[in-house]
Structures are given as C-alpha cells and as structure tokens.
Chains A and B, each alone.
Chain A
Amino acid sequence: MNKSITLRGLLLAALCLLGLAPLAHAQSDQINLDAGLPTRLEDAYPTAYGNRELQLPVRYQRSQQGDNLVQYTPTLEFGPFRNTQLAVAVPVYSGNGDRSGSGNVQVAGLYNFNTEGKYLPAVALAGTLTLPTGLRSAGTDYNGRFILTKSFLGTLNRLHLNLAYFHNSQPGVQAEGGQLKEERLDRFALLVGYSTRIAPQSSLVVDFVREQRRFRGEMGSSVEAGIRRQMNPRMVLSAGAAAGLGTDADKFTATLGLQHAF
C-alpha cells in the first residue's frame, strides 16, 4: 500500500517536471549543482550573495533487502556573505526502511575560494552539522566536504570531485538478520562527476560514488544521473536516479527536486 502511494507521488512529480508545474518566481541556476538535486554531487559554487532559496528534494530509496524509504528534505538556503552559502534542512523520512535520523536539524555551509581559471579549478570547502533532534538520534554529527570543479575543452563540460568525511559522534549497534551491525565512527566517500548543458534550459549531471557505508564492513558504489531544468528565471526542477553496484549499496534511488528563490 505504502509502495503504491509512493510510486503515484513520484509519477505526479515526474509529470510536473515534464512542464506541467506552475511557474513561480525563483532565481536558481541550472548549472549550479547542490547535493541532492538530483544527485549527491555538489559543485564548488555557492548560491549568490543575497539569495534566498527554498529547496525540496524528495528521494525514494530501495535497499537490497527490499525496504523502501522516502526522504523529504525541505531546505532553506541563502547567501549571507559573498562566496558563502548557508542552509538549514530538516529531513523527514517515511516508508518501511530505517528511518533513524528523521527530523534531525542540519545546518550546512559552503565557502568558495575562487572561480575556476583557465587551468585552476574552482575550490570549495563545505560542512554540515547534524543536531540529534530526530528519530533514534544521539550526539551531534558532522561532515566535511572538499570540492573541486573544473571545465575542460573550452566548453561547459565540467568535472567535479567531492571528497567527503562523516563523523558519527555516538555510533550505535543495530540488529539485523540475527546479526549485530555496528555503526562506523568515521567514514569517507568519494564522488567523481560530470555535468554539462544539454539544452538552453537543461543540464545533465552524471557521477560515480564510492563510499564507506554507515555500518562497519560495508562499502557501497553507485552510479547516479539526473537532469536539471530551468523552468523560469527563479525556479529549477530536477529529476535523477541512481543504481547501486555490489551487495551493500542501495538497490536504486530516484530523486525529484525543486529549487525556488524568493
């Protein structure tokens, strides 16, 4: 039952992405990548100084065990200083998968050091603080991300590299299939991606993720792809999907996202 409702919701959202969405005022940028919109890849550029933007990525995730999880992550992103981006998000989960962390408050920041030059990539540092306000959460977690973005061939073909570090301040233990699974204290993820403009108002993003998963002994790899479309001067809609490789990664995920400046 839950599954059919979820699929119907995704279908409706997909229709919106095909052009049936109402126009609204926004200032977003189809080539400026934010994690989760629609893949986990982030580029080195922040939102513009003075911008305010509402983001709503909705991510459906199916695990290898057949569990379903939908993550709604309403986010307020803004540019309080030049080259600086801050965001506050409260992800909420539904479905029969592991909903630990639903309702946590996340405070994130990104600082961009430079625009890319002819040879030099754009460089940024980002970080997120996760406060344990949600379901089955304890301790304040944090993560950091080092980001490079570089175009090549004199075009808008861009390569991105994200090196992410996650710290779980109070790793727990979870029973699954008669076994106890222990959470990692620290873990890393590497994302390598590509983005380009494929039409005047649309961009493509493709990436590969190799990550240490939440539980010890699990490694995951996935391939992600998505489209971002500038619907009007102030709004970008995005849609993407990811497929897990190997036994530990999620089987697949699908994401729909909205960014709306106000």
Chain B
Amino acid sequence: MLLAACSASHTTTEPRKEVSYIRGPYNAAFFHRHGESEALSAGFHFHHGREHDVLLQTKLADRVQVDADFDAQVFDFVKNKKSKVGPSMELFGPYTARVAWKLFRTIDWTHQHHEQTYDIMASQRVAWDKKKQWTDRAVKLYLARNQDVARSVAPLDITMRRAACMMKPYFTYYRNFYPKSNSQAWVAHWWHPAIYEAQMLSGNASGGQEAALKAVNDLMFNEVYKNRPQRMILSRELMPRYARMSPESANIFDNLHMLHGLAYDILSYEGWTEQQQRDELYRVIDAMSYQPGDEKYVRKFDLPYPDVDPRQYPAWMAGPEGAMSKIMMEMMMEMMPLMMPDMAPDMKEKMMAQFQMKMRPGMEPGEIEGSLHDAMMQLMPGMKMMPGALEPGKTPEMMRDAMLKGWQEKHGSMPDVPPLDMSQEPTLAPLAR
C-alpha cells in the first residue's frame, strides 16, 4: 500500500543516510570557547534552513512582504541569539526535507565539516602546528564518509562551470526578487570566513581568539548589517590565510555557499513542479560534488587581499565587484560566442549592462524582470539555447564544456597558491578588562 501510494503521488523514497560527526579531541571546542559566535552561526543556519520552506510555501507574487518579514525574522533570531546550538536544516525546513532530502543531507554534512574546522581552530588541545594536520584529516573523512553528498575541493571557478546553470530559467531569481533575505545570506557568508580568519590571526592562547571574534561580531552589527555585502564574498578574499592552510576546506566552503544560492533560486522559481525542482537541485548537487581528480585544482585561485584584516569592513567587501563577479563575467564571456555568435557591439553592450544588473541584488531602473535568461531572451529573442539549458535536471553539456575549456585556457597554468607556514603561532592581545 505504501509503495502504491508512493507511486501514485509521483514521489520518491529516499534513504535517510544520516552520518554522525567525526570524532576528535577538538569536538565542540568552538561551542564551549565561543558560545556567542556559535549562537550567531545558529541564527544564520536558521536562515538557511527556514528559507527553503519560505520559498516553497509562499507565492512569488507575495515576495515583497515575504522578503521583508523573513528578513526581520532572521535578524531577530541572530541578534537575540534565539538558539545556542546550530540547527539541522530539517528543524526549520521540514517541508523541503520531504521534497528534497538529499539537499539537506548535503548541507548538514557540510555544515558539520565547518563545525569541525571551527572546532579545530578553537581547540587548545590541538597545538598550532597541528591545526593543518587535523584539518586535513577532517577533509579526508568528510570526503570519504558521505561520498554522494560531499562538496568538491576544487575552486568555485570550476564547479560553477560544471553546474552550467547561468542560462537556466531560475538563475538570479533569489537575489533579484528576495534581495533582503538574500543579503542575510551574504552577511552570513561574510561572517563565516571572517571568523576563520580571525582565528588564524589570533593563535591558540587564551584571550586572543575571544577578542578577535568579538571584534568581528561587533563589526557585523555596527557596520556590515547596516551596509550589507552586495555579493557573495569568497574565501580567497576574506580568509586568505586559512585558504592557504587548507584550500580544500576553503573551496568546500565556497561550494556550499554557492549551493545555498542556487537552491534558493530553484525553489523560488515557479515555472517547475516540485519534482522538477528536485531534479534540478540534485543535478546541481551532483555537478558541484567531489569528483576524482579535483585535487589537482585545489590551489588554483588567486589571493586578491592576502593581508586582509577581518575585523575591518572596507568598501571593497561591501561592493558588488569581486571574485564572485569575476567568475560570473568569465563564464558569461565563454558562453556568449555559443549563444550569440554574430552579436552587434551595441547589443553586446546592452547585454552586459543587463548582466551586471542581474548579478546585483534587487531590481534596478532599466533592469528586465526575471532571471538572467529572461533578460537575455527579451533582448535577443533569437538567442540560441543549448540542449539542456532550460530543462530541469539536464546539463547543457556544450556550454559546460566550453566554459571548462575557457577556464583551462585562462587559468590552467596559473601557479598554485602558496601554503602557509604554521610553525609560528600568532598571538593577539586579549580583550582589555
């Protein structure tokens, strides 16, 4: 009967397949040492989990009110530290758990990895010169124990090209239609690398990490929330020291954060059924997952701000231009010859103007409503679409291959980002009493 009901409802059965955290001497060190920061992180994970259900259970037509209400709800949760413990996605996104369980397995497992790496950095039982060794172990076990959902260790430049979703009909929906909620995610994605880097600046000694994390948290409420980032900040920009120590973990981090954005894009798009949304979610999850051979790309990224201080919030962090927009622009330029081989210069100018607006959150004067695909099609109705470009669960393989080739030509021979010497432990003054 159950199987018949399952079949009749066009739903699928998925195995639960939950995996426990990796044991180590550092477990829960971040919670015990930096409880306030753990509570803020719990608030961000409330956003991440709840947003799935908000988007699936509300109508796009109500987006202005939905966006404002959810933004206020998240800020209240974060500011007032409503939970001291980071939640699993299902706790606040129970409906999505039933529609696309694998998405939550992916997110929860990678959140556990982040918890592990925060713990390693926070733990005084792990000597400074052993931090990398324990982090490498955490990465290795992260990849091995949950292989079908582990994120790739390759940089986002490669995994985004593999996902090839820029021309999908949902791409940019979330940032354009839910700009406030989207900016909550981008505050969170500023905060996480800022915390890693604050730990990297502080060393193990008592007082220093506490002071650095407090400075980051104060900065968030005093400046970042008031002038929210206009793009998703990448690990290479805000946690360069950590990214040098563990580029694998840094790339996993970026790949998860991009998955959040793509999942919200897909779930806010009303042109597909829930089953089609799930098909596309699972395709993106697979495309951005770890694949054998990813190791050779691990250090293939640059460090635009190698000496950044995460306790400061300069203009470059807040603006829309950065490593993320650079990746998007490269991908756009790699795709255009395939889709629009004979484009006139003035049309290209219009296209690029729309592209720039679409990458920024919200809607601007002159911006065409909808996804990036909608804007491109309105400007050039005859634009050639690749097979798989629009369908849920399908990969536009020609587009993907062209972009991967483009990356290889531009960056394939770039030098590896250098490792970090962890033999010298930094120290930072504790908070003044």
In the complex, are the beta carbons of A115 and B14 less than 8 A apart?
yes
Q: Which residues of A lie under 8 Å from residue B17 when comparing CB positions?
A: 49, 82-83
The tally of residues in B whose CB lies under 8 Å from a CB in A reads 42
Interface residue? B6 (CB, 8 A) = yes
Given contacts A29-B88, A201-B83, whether A123 and B2 have CB atoms under 8 Å apart is yes
CA of A233 to CA of B111 in the docked complex: distance in angstroms?
13
B145 CB-CB contact with A under 8 Å: yes
Apart from A23-B31, A115-B16, 18 more pairs, CB < 8 Å: A27-B21, A46-B18, A47-B20, A48-B20, A49-B18, A83-B15, A112-B16, A114-B16, A115-B14, A119-B11, A120-B5, A154-B95, A156-B90, A197-B91, A200-B77, A230-B85, A232-B31, A232-B84
Interface size on A, residues (CB 8 A): 40
A55 contacts the other chain (Cβ, under 8 Å)?
no
A197 to B85, CA, bound (A): 14
B87 at the interface (CB under 8 A from A): yes
A83 touches B91 (CB 8 A): no
Query: Pick the contact of A232 from B12, B82, B85 — CB < 8 Å?
Result: B85
Using a CB-CB cutoff of 8 Å, which residues 243-299 of chain B contact chain A? Answer: 274
B19 at the interface (CB under 8 A from A): yes
- For A230-251 the 0/1 string (1 means CB < 8 A from B) is 1011100000000000000000
Given known A118-B99, A197-B91, contact A25–B13 (CB-CB < 8 A):
no
Q: Which residues of A contact B98 (CB under 8 A)?
A: 115-118, 151
Please provide the chain B residues from 44 to 73 with a CB less than 8 Å away from any CB of chain A in the complex.
Answer: 46, 53, 57
Q: Indicate if A79 sits at the interface (CB-CB under 8 A).
A: yes
Question: In the complex, what's the smallest C-beta–C-beta distance from A57 to chain B, in angstroms?
Answer: 21
Q: Can you name 18 A-B pairs with beta carbons within 8 Å?
A: A23-B31, A31-B91, A46-B16, A47-B20, A48-B20, A49-B18, A83-B17, A112-B16, A115-B15, A115-B101, A118-B98, A119-B6, A120-B13, A151-B98, A155-B95, A232-B28, A232-B31, A234-B27
Task: Flag whether B406 is at the interface (Cβ < 8 A).
Answer: no
Check A117–B53 contact: CB distance below 8 A.
no
Partner of A118, one of B11, B20, B42, B57: B11
Whether B94 sits at the interface, judged by CB under 8 Å, is: yes
B15 and A156 form a contact (CB under 8 A): no
- Flag A171-206 by CB within 8 Å of B: 1 or 0 each: 000000000000000000000000001001100000
Residues on the B chain within 8 Å of A114, using CB: 13-16
- The docked-state distance in angstroms from the alpha carbon of A121 to that of B27 is 34
Instruction: Tell me if A45 is interfacial: C-beta within 8 Å of chain B.
Output: yes
Write out, one digit per residue, whether chain A residues 23-47 have a CB within 8 A of any chain B CB (1) or not (0): 1010101010000000000000111
B12-43 residues at the A interface, CB under 8 angstroms: 12-21, 27-28, 31-32, 42
User: Residues on B close to A: CB < 8 A?
Assistant: 2, 5-6, 9, 11-21, 27-28, 31-32, 42, 46, 53, 57, 77, 82-88, 90-91, 94-95, 97-99, 101, 115, 145, 274
**Given the complex of chains A and B, what is the CA–CA distance between A116 and B16 in angstroms?**
8
**A-side contacts of B53, CB under 8 Å:** 154
Q: For B28, give its contact among A116, A121, A122, A233 (CB under 8 Å).
A: A233
The answer to whether B97 touches A115, judged by C-beta atoms less than 8 angstroms apart, is yes
A45 to B11, alpha carbons, bound, how many Å?
19
Among B9, B87, B101, which residue has the most Cβ atoms of chain A within 10 A?
Answer: B87
* A51 at the B interface (CB under 8 A): yes
Q: Does A17 contact B (CB under 8 A)?
A: no
Are A48 and B83 within 8 A (Cβ)?
A: no
CA distance A121 to B2 in the complex (A): 8
* B residues near A156, Cβ cutoff 8 Å: 90-91, 94
Interface residue A261 (Cβ < 8 Å from any Cβ of B): yes
**Selected contact of A117 from candidates B12, B42, B94, CB within 8 Å:** B12
Decide if A83 touches B16 in the complex (CB within 8 Å): yes
Residue from B16, B42, B95 whose CB has the most chain A CB atoms within 10 Å: B16
CB proximity to B under 8 Å, residues A42-69: 45-52
**Which chain B positions have C-beta within 8 A of A49?**
17-20, 145
